[in-house]
């Protein structure tokens, strides 16, 4: 009988530990000031625009994609992503990267691009009968 309680208690402790771990991993903060991104060791989402003057690099051998991102204050940060260039990257109006800043650049685990909407700046036409 005592073994059942020990086993049940250990299952509950393991379950709670997993839940706490998953909660702390999903608690990612948005940062739109790269000076804050560079001074934290947590996983963050950084928002900015691609610096087109510096282009981007695709390293097929190491399977990395790197580019420079600029925040609203004009701070630039190099981003390296282990993967391929996202679709519509060149036409993106803003970029959101998820990862950590270390060793002089941002190590991105995920990249999201926001492209211009086809519905923006369209005149609404109404007709009367």
Per-residue pLDDT tens for 47-72? 999 998 888 999 989 899 999 999 98
- The alpha carbon torsion through 101, 106, 109, 111 (nearest 10 deg) reads 130
Task: Give the confidence band of 110 by pLDDT, cuts at 50, 70, 90.
Answer: very high
Give me the chain's average pLDDT, please. 83
Domains of the chain: 29-114 (2.40.50.140)
Which are the contacts of 40, defined by CB distance < 8 A and separation ≥ 6? 31, 101
The model carries a pTM of: 0.67
Q: What pLDDT, on a 0 to 100 scale, did the predictor assign at position 7?
A: 87
Task: Give the confidence band of 30 by pLDDT, cuts at 50, 70, 90.
Answer: low
């Amino acid at each position: 009988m005592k073994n059942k309680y020990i086993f049940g208690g250990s299952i509950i402790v393991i379950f709670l530990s997993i839940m706490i771990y998953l909660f702390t991993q999903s608690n990612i903060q948005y940062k739109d000031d790269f000076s804050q991104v560079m001074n934290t060791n947590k996983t963050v989402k950084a928002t900015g625009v691609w610096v087109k003057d510096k282009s981007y690099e695709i390293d097929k051998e190491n399977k990395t994609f790197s580019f420079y991102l600029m925040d609203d204050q004009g701070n630039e940060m190099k981003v390296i992503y282990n993967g391929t260039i996202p679709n519509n990257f060149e036409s993106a109006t803003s970029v959101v990267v998820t990862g950590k800043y270390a060793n002089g650049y941002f190590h991105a685990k995920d990249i999201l691009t926001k492209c211009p909407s086809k519905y923006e700046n369209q005149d609404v036409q109404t007709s009367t009968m």
